[in-house]
Structure 1
């Protein structure tokens, strides 16, 4: 298994992703987007950061890099793809998942720990948890508010494609626990295949014990879950 972490101009969490995956014993390498996906790619991470300075819209320019056509084709073939923060924005802009991420309701950059409730534990990315588990995972974004039309939101929810919702420490999904104003407190969603996921919080920053939380490890172990399926 080799997970390719795609680096764009302005990515700044690519090394974090490689380090977190390596800590879990998962082979990972950074690849510059212009070089395309290596032939031995068995998983893909679209990392956080500020690709191209978030010009136009966050993730909009990176989504038009030729490598994203390769990522889409790989996803259609069942290769697991995880977009984190800016990578989630890129994933939505590319059409890997429904919805979009836009400016936080506060209009401020939010950098803090957030609580997430596991909404669907029957996916590769959440198999390590039980439905209703509460995780502590950092967020760091200015455009993390998930938006989607009402009909599409209801379909996303009814199909079990909401992975995580922002909640309080006791698992209550409330307005006060929503750090960015996301519709339905949504923090992460699945694509048409459950092997594709995007989320705003940073599981790679909640993987190493020295960082204070290891709650994000199960998300990254999704790559193992797919390869062992």
Structure 2
């Protein structure tokens, strides 16, 4: 069965092609490119990707305007029906602003843009996105963000921890994120938001392959379903 993935492009996206290439390299099928102004998604999608970048110039708050675009309304509807959604960097910001994930991404604690490869601990290896990793495994992925400081109230943080919804945690101080949270899942486990970029670490030529297992895990789970 062919793997049908869609990647959304917003004005200001700059990682949409990277995400589409990663999905095609792993699945063998080209991702469908979707524009922010589209009101509907293609039918029978297996996967939706929201890429990194600076959607709508990061006006108001990062991801705030994108979260109210026509296509994100369709993404929210699809996610609520169980379609897997991955939001990377700016895509993570869009997921919090749309209400698909709790919390918010604030300005980095150092008030500077962070761009480097960082260690991550895999906190949950049971989701469709992370089943290709071992629980507690350390991986290395690049980050590139100015507003990646994850914030939520203590009750929400405790709930995320207790329900196993923290997918990845920074192995060192990166941006001030509470409890060093780098990626979180929704309650159903079909939506993942993360600040690090797995699509930039899928082959040795890019400097690492630790991101490849995320896409392989999703493709394997969804094609087999």
TM-score normalised by structure 1 residue count: 0.93
Cα distance in structure 2, aligned partners of 1:226 and 1:147: 31
Alignment match, 1:135: 139
Per-residue deviation, 1:88: 0.2
Tell me which residue corresponds to 2:26. Answer: 24
1:82 aligns with 2:86: yes
Residue of structure 2 equivalent to 1:7: 9
Q: How many residues are matched?
A: 220
Question: Deviation of residue 193 (structure 1)?
Answer: 1.3
The partner residue of 1:101 within 105, 123, 127 is 105
The offset of 1:26, in angstroms, is 4.5
Gaps of 5+ in 2: none
The 8 Å contact of residues 91 and 198 in structure 1, kept in 2 or not, is answered as yes
Match of 1:209 in 2: 204
Whether the 8 Å CA contact 2:125–2:135 is kept in 1: the answer is yes
Match of 1:199 among 183, 194, 202: 194
CA-atom RMSD in angstroms: 1.1
Contact kept? 2:46, 2:222, Cα under 8 Å: no
TM-score by length of structure 2 reads: 0.95
Distance, in Å, in 2 between the alignment partners of 1:34 and 1:163 is 31
Residue number in structure 1 paired with 2:45: 41
Is 2:122–2:167's contact at 8 Å kept on the other side of the alignment? Answer: yes
1:226 and 2:222 correspond: yes
Going from structure 1 to structure 2, the CA distance change for 1:222 and 1:60 (only over 3 Å counts) comes to farther
Report if the CA contact (8 A) 2:27-2:216 is conserved: no
**Structure 2 match to 1:188:** 183
C-alpha distance in 2, partners of 1:112/1:16?
Answer: 17
Listed as ranges, the gaps of 5+ residues in structure 1 are 168-176
Secondary structure of 2:199's match?
Answer: helix
CA-to-aligned-CA distance 1:42-79 (integer Å, 9 cap, x gap): 21000000001101000000000021111111111111
Q: CA deviation at 1:208?
A: 2.3
Q: 1:159 aligns with which of 158, 163, 170?
A: 163
CA contact (8 A) 1:2 1:26 kept: no
Post-superposition Cα deviations, 1:71-108, rounded to whole Å, max 9, x if no partner, equal 11111111100000000000000011111101000100
Mapped partners of 1:219, 1:62: distance in 2: 25
Q: CA deviation at 1:192?
A: 1.8
